[in-house]
Amino acid sequence: MLLTGSIQGTRNKVIRFQANFDKYAFLWNTHMDDDLKNFNKRNPQLEDYENKLKEFEALQGEVDEIEPYHQIGALSLKTEKAKLSLTDWIEKWKTRYSRDLHKKAKNMLEHLMDELKQIQLKIDKPVVDIDSLGSVMSALEEIRKKQSDFSL
């Protein structure tokens, strides 16, 4: 009876210790592409990506703080491989979000370069009359509007 009680007590403690890792289950249970699609539905800004990547950094910090051994009664549980696996999963998620951010930034930069080329063509036109001067002035106003978008 005492042996059975002792084994059951140890088993319960192991289950409670194992439950500490449940908060990381989304790393392997959630499909990255689906999560990224849901994230992109909210039209994320740079700050949103930054916050998401900071969340993964915080998770990595928690994983790093996990002790390499956990003693439960006569059992000594090694957590090194679990920590390595969790770190790998976190890196995969960070890489996936970073790639998406880079792709969006590249598209935005290409769009901006196209707009700048169009504005440059408007400004480079020779000013010969009042209409052409108005065209150049509207191009300059367009530049000011774009500049205010970047200062946000």
What are the tens digits of pLDDT across the range 39-79?
999 999 989 999 999 999 999 999 999 999 999 888 889 99
Structure confidence at residue 4 (pLDDT):
81
Structure confidence at residue 127 (pLDDT):
83
56: its two tokens: 């993964």
- Global pTM reads 0.75
Domain edges within the chain: 2-113
Confidence of residue 25 (pLDDT cuts 50, 70, 90): very high
End-to-end alpha carbon distance in the chain: 70
With 0-12 / 13-18 / 19 or more C-beta atoms within 10 angstroms meaning exposed / middle / buried, residue 97 is: buried
Structure confidence at residue 149 (pLDDT):
67
Query: To which H or E segment does residue 69 belong?
Result: strand 69-72
Structure confidence at residue 150 (pLDDT):
64
Query: To which H or E segment does residue 111 belong?
Result: helix 80-124
Residue 68: name the closest of 77, 79, 57 by CA: 79
Task: Report in angstroms the alpha-carbon separations of 60 from 16, 69, 92, 98.
Answer: 21, 18, 12, 16
